[in-house]
Chain A
Amino acid sequence: MKFDPNAILADAEIVASLASIAVKLGEEVAPYVEQLYDIIVKKESLSAAQREASIAAEAALRTRLNAPQPGDPDYTEGE
Chain B
Amino acid sequence: MKRAFAALAAAALLAGCGALQKLEGAVTQDRLDVARATYDSLLTAAAQYNERPRCAPGQDATLANLCSEYTAVVKLRAVDASVAASFDQVQADLNACDPGKSGVTTQAAGTCSSLSADYDALAGVLAVARTATRQITGASI
Say which size band chain A's interface belongs to.
35 or more
Contact B38 A12 (CB under 8 A): no
What is the minimal beta-carbon distance from B86 to any residue of chain A, in angstroms? 13
Contact B40 A29 (CB under 8 A): yes
Could you say which of B7, B9, B29, B68 contacts A3, with CB atoms under 8 Å apart? B7
The answer to whether A79 has its CB under 8 Å from any CB of chain B is no
B:112-141 near A, CB below 8 Å: 139-141
Say which size band chain B's interface belongs to.
35 or more
**Interface centre among A14, A57, A65, by most B CB within 10 Å?**
A65
> CA A61 – CA B41 in complex, angstroms?
10
What is the minimal beta-carbon distance from A5 to any residue of chain B, in angstroms? 8
Contact B11 A9 (CB under 8 A): yes
In chain A, what residue has the closest Cβ to B4?
A37
CB-CB < 8 A to B10: which residues of A?
Answer: 8, 19
Could you say which of B7, B34, B68, B141 contacts A21, with CB atoms under 8 Å apart? B141
Could you say which of A15, A20, A35 contacts B37, with CB atoms under 8 Å apart? A35
The answer to whether A76 has its CB under 8 Å from any CB of chain B is no
CB-CB < 8 A to A25: which residues of B?
Answer: 41, 44-45, 48, 139
CB-CB < 8 A to B44: which residues of A?
Answer: 25, 28-29, 32, 61
What is the minimal beta-carbon distance from A32 to any residue of chain B, in angstroms? 4
Could you say which of B14, B21, B70, B141 contacts A20, with CB atoms under 8 Å apart? B141
Given contacts A1-B3, A37-B4, A39-B33, contact A12 B15 (CB under 8 A): yes
Could you say which of A17, A41, A58, A67 contacts B40, with CB atoms under 8 Å apart? A58
Point out residues on B near A: beta carbons under 8 Å.
1, 3-5, 7-12, 14-22, 29-30, 33-34, 36-41, 43-48, 50-51, 53-54, 68, 70, 73, 76-77, 80, 84, 139-141
Q: Could you show 10 A-B contacts with beta carbons less than 8 Å apart?
A: A12-B18, A14-B38, A16-B14, A32-B40, A37-B4, A46-B33, A54-B40, A65-B77, A67-B51, A71-B53
